[in-house]
């Protein structure tokens, strides 16, 4: 560590977030860079299960060594200079400036992501698959890393195995760009177009460089977002279980559609926007009951976005919107209106921004 | 109980004796690394974290060392 200048930033005020771009819902995130602001690598990143899945001393040591190697190459003129991204400061995010910076509040990392999403939502420009799910889980495509060894594969499954990835392979490039750490890999994976069908990797297998083209499964970018304690997504009063293909066929519903059985009716998580009208909420909860089959949302039965009805609503509706559900209620077709809601703190912040 | 001038003088004398004793035993340590020396070295080896990005850039320019930059959401 003594070979580095160490710096710890706990407030993002005045930081060029265009240069230091990362998923802001990481409580800890590291960069190794030089005085010319050339970033050599990132160290950090997480999955939905745990904030420290990919952080440990061994992989940190590997990252530090890789950073020193890169620095040596840079000093020898053997490392191409990367163009600097356009500067972008927290002060340029209007609601963040108005609600926090102008009130002399400390700008914490997560606020950047939250306010950017808010600003985009208010402008009708929220790219939900990218902004609500910024860090897809590599395990979804079968990439299980031997974490203490950095980017060495412990086990390849699913799409990764199908592409030829094997235990012991080491990922060295993503889309033609060098990746030195899990942080590098997750960052580049997160930037992948959500409509992409493949990603291109390069691996090192026993000293031999080998390209691998991994076919992405449907909804490869979906992750559990519950650890992101602020979200712009609409909250629902029910949970569902997708019907099997056989069940859908039996009901003459599209096999690739999002027909789902209602599993549970759930009260709002915390104070909600419907709290002002509890009788209406109760009424809605009484109409929809476990066992009902949701066959469509606003007349739509299938979508290229997702085959999950709850996710479809979260991806297409605004929190607080009233939605029309097509149901099989006691086996008979029926249409009902359902409200969605926004968690209280989000509602309050958005109303302040209007 | 209120301390008199005599009490203060006695206390000062005791402090000087204690410091001299520590320095003596420190010097006598067989490894040459007495308690005080170890404490001093531990302090000098303690990693220094800057809390200002521009200061880190300046320090990196001056020393030629790369920067290990941490973003921590909760202080």
**pLDDT, tens only, A293-346:** 999 999 999 988 788 899 899 888 888 888 999 999 988 999 998 888 876 655
Is the model's pLDDT at B32 over the cut of 50? no
Distance between CA atoms of B13 and A232, rounded to whole angstroms? 69
What percent of chain A is modeled with pLDDT above 70? 90
For residues A116-138, average pLDDT: 88
Greater pLDDT, B12 or B51: B51
pTM exceeds 0.90: no
Distance between CA atoms of A301 and A294, rounded to whole angstroms? 9
Is the model's pLDDT at B22 over the cut of 60? no
B44 touching chain A per CB within 8 A: no
Contact at CB, A9 and B65, closer than 8 angstroms: no
Contact at CB, A35 and B71, closer than 8 angstroms: no
Confidence at residue A286, expressed as pLDDT on a 0 to 100 scale: 62
Contact at CB, A34 and B67, closer than 8 angstroms: yes
A10 touching chain B per CB within 8 A: yes
Q: Which two tokens stand for residue A122?
A: 């208010």
pLDDT in tens, A230-286: 666 788 888 999 999 999 999 999 998 999 999 998 876 655 444 445 555 656 656
Q: Looking at chain A, which residue has its C-alpha nearest residue B61?
A: A35
Residue A181's pLDDT band (boundaries 50, 70, 90)? very high
Angle between helices B5-28 and B35-45 (to 10 degrees): 80
- Tokens 């521009």 belong to B54
A8 touching chain B per CB within 8 A: yes
Q: Which 3 state secondary structure label does DSSP give A182?
A: helix
Confidence at residue B37, expressed as pLDDT on a 0 to 100 scale: 46
Distance between CA atoms of A83 and A95, rounded to whole angstroms? 29
Distance between CA atoms of A177 and A188, rounded to whole angstroms? 9
- In chain B, which residues have their Cβ closer than 8 Å to the Cβ of A26? 71, 73
Confidence at residue A254, expressed as pLDDT on a 0 to 100 scale: 93
Instruction: Please name the member of A2, A67, A109 whose beta carbon is closest to the beta carbon of B73.
Output: A109
Residue A102's pLDDT band (boundaries 50, 70, 90)? very high
- In chain B, which residues have their Cβ closer than 8 Å to the Cβ of A9? 51, 53, 69-72
ipTM, 2 dp:
0.81
- Nearest chain A CA: its distance from B40 CA (Å): 17
- Nearest chain B CA: its distance from A5 CA (Å): 5
């Amino acid at each position: 560590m003594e070979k580095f200048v160490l710096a710890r930033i706990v407030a993002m005020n005045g930081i060029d977030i265009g240069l230091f771009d990362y998923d802001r819902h990481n409580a800890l995130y590291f960069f190794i860079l030089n005085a010319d602001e050339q970033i050599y690598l990132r160290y950090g990143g997480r999955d939905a299960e745990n904030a420290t899945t990919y952080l440990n001393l061994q992989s940190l040591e590997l990252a530090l060594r890789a950073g020193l190697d890169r620095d040596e190459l840079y000093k020898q003129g053997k490392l191409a200079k990367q163009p600097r991204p356009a500067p972008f400061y927290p002060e340029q995010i209007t609601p963040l400036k108005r609600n926090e910076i102008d009130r002399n509040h400390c700008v914490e990392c997560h606020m950047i992501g939250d306010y950017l999403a808010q600003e985009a939502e208010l402008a009708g420009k929220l790219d939900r698959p990218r902004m609500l799910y910024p860090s897809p889980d590599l395990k979804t495509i079968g990439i299980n890393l031997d974490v203490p060894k950095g980017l060495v594969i412990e086990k390849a499954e699913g799409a990764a195995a199908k592409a030829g990835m094997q235990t012991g392979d080491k990922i060295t490039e993503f889309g033609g760009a060098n990746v030195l750490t899990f942080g590098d890999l997750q960052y580049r994976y997160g930037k992948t177009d959500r409509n992409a069908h493949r990603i291109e990797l390069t691996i090192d297998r026993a000293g031999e460089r080998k390209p691998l083209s991994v076919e992405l499964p449907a909804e490869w970018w979906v992750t559990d977002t519950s650890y992101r304690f602020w979200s712009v997504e609409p909250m629902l009063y029910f949970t569902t279980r997708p019907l099997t293909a056989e069940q859908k066929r039996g009901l003459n519903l599209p096999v690739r559609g999002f027909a789902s059985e209602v599993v549970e009716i759930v009260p709002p998580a915390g104070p909600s926007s419907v709290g002002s009208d509890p009788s209406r909420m109760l009424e809605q909860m009484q109409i929809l009951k476990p066992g009902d089959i949701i066959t469509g949302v606003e007349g739509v039965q299938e979508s290229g976005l997702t085959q999950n009805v709850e996710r479809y609503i979260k991806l297409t509706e605004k929190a607080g919107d009233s939605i029309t559900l097509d149901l099989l209620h006691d086996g008979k077709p029926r249409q009902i209106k359902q409200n969605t809601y926004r968690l209280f703190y989000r509602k309050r912040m958005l109303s302040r921004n209007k | 109980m209120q301390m008199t001038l005599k009490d203060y003088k006695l206390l000062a004398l005791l402090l000087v004796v204690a410091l001299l004793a520590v320095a003596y035993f420190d010097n006598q340590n067989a490894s040459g690394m007495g308690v005080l020396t170890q404490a001093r070295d531990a302090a000098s080896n303690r990693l220094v974290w800057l809390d200002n990005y521009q200061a880190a850039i300046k320090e990196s320019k001056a020393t030629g060392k790369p920067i290990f930059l941490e973003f921590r959401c909760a202080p």
